[in-house]
Amino acid sequence: MVLSSRMLEQGRTCVLLAFTCLPLYTGAAAYPDRPIRYVLPSAAGGGPDVAARIVMTELGRRLGKQVVVDNRAGASGVIGTETVARATPDGYTIGHGNINTMAINRSVLPSLPYNIDRDLLPVVHMYGTPNLLAVTMSLPVQSVQELIGYAKKNPDKLSFASTANGSSQHVGMELFKLLTGTQMVHVPYKAAVVAITDLTAGRIHLMADNINSIGPHVKSGRLRGLGVTSAKRVPAFADLPTIAEAGVPGFDVQAWAGVIVPTGVPRAIVMRLNAEVNQALAAPAVADKLPELGLIVVGGTPEQFGAHIKREAARWADVVKRAGAKVD
């Protein structure tokens, strides 16, 4: 008998449901029986913090236990990520793995106190987000091309902010410099809110930050948006071109984030978390809210997230090598 694609899909769904309903392992069928800590390697109040709290609130509702967001910012995300890597692998400390901590840091930072591939496990890819390139209102440029022209006439006179060495804001702008032949100075900050404060005050010239972080300041007129870093325009900022269509062919930078756990967490708990986070991402409280923040909901299996991390690590290793990006 030849099975239709719909029958195959239904079959896969049934298998997944059956698997997730099995007891996790002896003595752990009640997981979770206490609150879970979600370690976020970013400061409170920034874009990643807002998005994480939306997802984790829904995840806690589904699990019947609170998921407490623990902000551990600093050292380009290393502090928070090490907290996860060194945690007891029982499923009660989980973490936020993003483009910086899981893909770029390994190429930019001289050393890490953990091995990303050995000490951490991917659980689920939560979302992706383009960055938005914005400049301080006092800078006399109205477009990407004008920015390029100004930078070429004033080498190393413009400064761009990032939230850390190895962040998507940092290496994304290194790629921009590489493709446009411009020279600008990188200024790393410990938090996006501090960088944006300096940007609006004119103490720094430009920044390509996550849309849900910098977007409100562009909409309010405190900053001037020039373009988005993704290959396609973003509905929330449909009037802004992509940087590629604004004259930088091949430019495509999207930040992303997902759930990670320390190696050693039982597979059954990993799969329980995967299933519940996927359901949380599909819930209206999350699925409707994240796109309003400029985020693209993803979801999927641990294996799919792991493959994404490997692709991104290889891609950014190449960019870092070509651009000569370094710790500032």
Residue 4 lies in a domain: no
Query: pLDDT tens digits for 267-276?
Result: 999 999 999 9
Residue 120 lies in a domain: yes
Residue 112 lies in a domain: yes
Residue 309's SS3 state is: helix
Per-residue pLDDT band at 29 (split at 50, 70, 90)? low
- Same domain for 211 and 313, yes or no, is no
Residue 244 lies in a domain: no
Mean pLDDT, the chain, whole residue set:
90
Query: pLDDT tens digits for 286-314?
Result: 999 999 888 999 999 999 999 999 999 99
Range of the domain at 48: 13-129+255-323
- Same domain for 70 and 211, yes or no, is no
Residue that is last in its domain, among 207, 237, 267 = 237
Residue 265: which CATH number?
3.40.190.150
- Same domain for 219 and 279, yes or no, is no
The structure tokens 């509905």 sit at 235
Residue 4's SS3 state is: coil
- Same domain for 297 and 154, yes or no, is no
Residue 189 lies in a domain: yes
- Same domain for 171 and 313, yes or no, is no
Residue 285 lies in a domain: yes
Confirm if 70 and 11 have CB atoms less than 8 A apart: no
Domain count of the fold of the chain: 2
Residue 1 lies in a domain: no
Residue that is last in its domain, among 189, 211, 237 = 237
The token pair that represents 323 in the structure block: 């651009």
- Same domain for 24 and 74, yes or no, is yes
How far, CA to CA in Å, does 317 sit from each of 95, 108, 111, 117, 303? 23, 8, 14, 15, 21
Residue 249 lies in a domain: no
Model's pTM, two decimal places? 0.83
Query: pLDDT tens digits for 124-158?
Result: 999 999 999 999 999 999 999 999 999 999 999 99
